[in-house]
Amino acid sequence: MDETTLRLNKLNKKYGSHTVFEFDHWEVKQGIYLIKGINGAGKTTLFKIISGQIPFHGEVAINNITLKQQPQTYRAMLSYAEAEPQYPAFLTGNELLEFHLNIRKAERKPADNLIEEFKMGDYMKNKIESYSSGMLKKLSLICAFTGHVKLYILDELMITIDQDSIEVLYTLIKKQLQEGKIFLISSHQELDYTKVPMNGIFQIDNQQLKLC
Amino acid sequence: MLRLWLKTFGREFFAQHAGLFLFLFYLIFGAVPPGQLKGYILSLGITINSSPVALGIFILAMFLFSLKSLLFIQKLSNTPVYNFVKTSTAATKKIQLQNWFILYLFLHSPLVLFTLFVIGTGLYGHFYLSAAALTGSVILIFSSLPVLTFRTLNYTFKPTKKLILLPEIAIKKPYWTWPLYYLLKKQTLALIVCKILSFLLFKGIIWMFADNGNDIRIYLLSLLAATISHCILISMTLRFEKTSGNFINSLPVNYGYRLSSLFGFLLTLMIPELLFYSKLSGLQVINTLLGILFSAAVLLVLQMSLYFINNDAERYLKYIFILLISSIMAVITGLYFPFSILLLILGISYHRYLYKNNSLS
């Protein structure tokens, strides 16, 4: 099994004159990493940079495949579940999931298992506009765990979901870790480190990612 | 409370509709030389009073605008950011109605001023029936809007009954149709108003040049006017993509798919106008393809300019104006084909640049 590596080089991200990130090199290998920082420190910005959602200066690469050189191959290797996901309200859960499955050329069966585990079966036919914030979060997690990706980015993974779903999530993360994946997560809730042992905790401080 | 309403709803309403107002202003008064403006406005007032058709269109436009403002307030009140509005229901009925009345008066201020002028012109020209119809419409609008808003906010606990229960038909919604669904489901009124405006402009230009015979340039000018009138919808769909469609940026979607989806949406939006254009230009394949190319190029540049100016309504209007003038010149001089190709190259290049820089929503 090849070890997955995420590498960020010469990263510079500014909002107007405010610099959020400025560093030369940051690299993580297979494992689970917690990104910490106060509100507004730049956790979501970092995740959006890595997932290719916002412009930035520098280079991000997974296993030497860079976002700027091979955007599609790069994006096929990662999955990003946003803190507060927003989807077209007129779509049903199933339609959104099918969209993800088609894009990732993934099988439906594992997603069906997740639907069952997250107890979302009764709602997948409903329009997203009728979803509660917890259901929306579960749907975003189901979509995030479709296909064969190398890097999972889970922003505020535990907000709005119930305890049973958090247990499902822990099991899911553990299983994927055994397959050599990288997890970047952020959470303001206390994580159970006995269930998801961290390989590293990074603090966003002074535009850098510092190991705690 | 009133000050807060004006600062939130009022500011948001005019910020969102500045483009529409300025576009309509240009449309109605743009072609009139400054020296003739006074006479033009006066004759416009007299025409509305003297022609039952013109009066009917004006009253219909007033009601459509009122409906638009009512839906705008209701929609905004239902967003989480505007949850504070619900606290206003603790005030007395009189105060609530008073505040909503003044807010709607503020939102309608350009229309009210013009309507008062038309009523004045009607009275001066002895068109008492028209003046009475306009006065009645204004009274009806300003007595019903505050009451309807009051009821919506104060009786949220009452279950609503659906008068017509349409069966839900499961239709596949490919990615390129999402902006269309958004317009159909969430911006229905804007879509209808835009389509009405588009057809009026299309027909208006055909009538204006009716004595010029069968000239492809006239049909292209009509198509141009109809295409440009979709500028508000383009802006709305971009806003939708930036919020609800942004997640697609982290998915492995190739560039060809993004571009073809965009063209799929733009051309589907223009199907009725393109059909009219094709019929008028004799259902010839070359002419039809020219129309499709021209319309797609103009819409693409409209959307790309919005990206370029970061959805700034004021600057958008300037870009629309420049695009309109240059397109008219290209059509009149017969250079519509190279012009369309140029616009397409510019639009696609910028679209690709945005894709490469993760700036596409």
Q: How far is CA A87 from CA A79, A84, A93, A97, B248, in A?
A: 16, 10, 10, 11, 10
Q: Are residues B86 and B204 located together in one domain of the fold?
A: no
Q: Are residues B185 and B325 located together in one domain of the fold?
A: yes
Distance of alpha carbon B201 from alpha carbon B355, whole angstroms: 34
Q: Are residues B95 and B235 located together in one domain of the fold?
A: no
Mean pLDDT of B321-329: 92
pLDDT for res B315: 86
Distance of alpha carbon A193 from alpha carbon A178, whole angstroms: 16
Q: What is the mean pLDDT of chain B?
A: 87
B167 belongs to a structural domain: no
pLDDT > 70 fraction of chain A, expressed in percent and rounded: 99
* Least confident residue range of A34-38, A181-185, B152-156, B163-167: B163-167
Distance of alpha carbon B240 from alpha carbon B242, whole angstroms: 5
B240 Cα distance to chain centroid = 15
User: Does B25 have pLDDT greater than 90?
Assistant: no
User: Does A106 have pLDDT greater than 80?
Assistant: yes
CA distance A182 to chain B (A): 16
Predicted model pTM: 0.75
Q: Are residues B133 and B245 located together in one domain of the fold?
A: no
Residues in chain A within 8 Å Cβ distance of B181: 88, 90
Q: Are residues B146 and B179 located together in one domain of the fold?
A: no
* A167: Cβ contacts below 8 Å, ≥ 6 apart: none
Distance of alpha carbon B226 from alpha carbon B300, whole angstroms: 14
Number of domains composing chain B: 2
* Least confident residue range of A13-22, A189-198, B166-175: B166-175
Q: Are residues B202 and B318 located together in one domain of the fold?
A: yes
Tokens of B155: 């009786």
B163 falls in which pLDDT band (50, 70, 90)? low
Stronger pLDDT, A181 or B215, i.e. the higher one: A181
pLDDT for res B360: 83
pLDDT digits (tens, 9 = 90+) for A117-148: 999 999 999 999 999 999 999 999 999 999 88
CA distance B160 to chain A (A): 16
Stronger pLDDT, B163 or B351, i.e. the higher one: B351
Q: How many CB atoms lie within 10 A of CB A164?
A: 11
pLDDT for res B272: 94
Q: Are residues B97 and B148 located together in one domain of the fold?
A: yes
Distance of alpha carbon B105 from alpha carbon B146, whole angstroms: 10
Please name the residue that has the structure tokens 């990706």.
A149
pLDDT digits (tens, 9 = 90+) for B253-279: 989 999 999 999 999 999 999 999 999
Q: Are residues B132 and B185 located together in one domain of the fold?
A: no
Q: Are residues B303 and B341 located together in one domain of the fold?
A: yes
Binary contact (B250, A95; C-beta < 8 A): no
Query: Within a 13 Å sphere around the CA of B306, how many CA atoms are in the beta-carbon half?
Result: 21
R_g of chain A, CA atoms, integer Å: 17
Binary contact (B253, A80; C-beta < 8 A): no
User: Does A1 have pLDDT greater than 60?
Assistant: no
B168 falls in which pLDDT band (50, 70, 90)? low
Domain limits for position B100: 2-154
Q: Are residues B36 and B139 located together in one domain of the fold?
A: yes
CA distance A194 to chain B (A): 31
Dihedral (C-alpha) B277, B224, B359, A91: value to the nearest 10 degrees? -40
pLDDT for res A59: 93
Q: Are residues B228 and B334 located together in one domain of the fold?
A: yes
- In the DSSP assignment, the letter for residue B9 is I
A194 falls in which pLDDT band (50, 70, 90)? confident
B361 belongs to a structural domain: no
- From B154, B186, B208, the end of a domain falls on B154
Closest CA to B277 of B296, B292, B298, B297: B292
Distance of alpha carbon B125 from alpha carbon B270, whole angstroms: 42
Binary contact (A55, B247; C-beta < 8 A): no
pLDDT for res A97: 94
Q: What is the mean pLDDT of chain A?
A: 91
Please name the residue that has the structure tokens 């929609």.
B75
Report yes or no for ipTM above 0.95.
Answer: no
Q: Do residues B238 and B311 lie in contact, with contact meaning Cβ atoms separated by under 8 Å? A: yes
B95 falls in which pLDDT band (50, 70, 90)? confident
pLDDT digits (tens, 9 = 90+) for A13-25: 998 889 999 999 9
Mean pLDDT of A192-198: 86
Number of domains composing chain A: 1
pLDDT for res B162: 63
Domain limits for position A61: 5-211
Q: Are residues B148 and B182 located together in one domain of the fold?
A: no
* A46: Cβ contacts below 8 Å, ≥ 6 apart: A21, A35, A204, A209
Q: Check which CATH number belongs to the domain holding A61 and give it.
A: 3.40.50.300
Closest CA to B60 of B183, B230, B200, B206: B200
B23 falls in which pLDDT band (50, 70, 90)? low
Helix, strand, coil percent content, chain B, rounded in steps of 5: 80, 0, 20
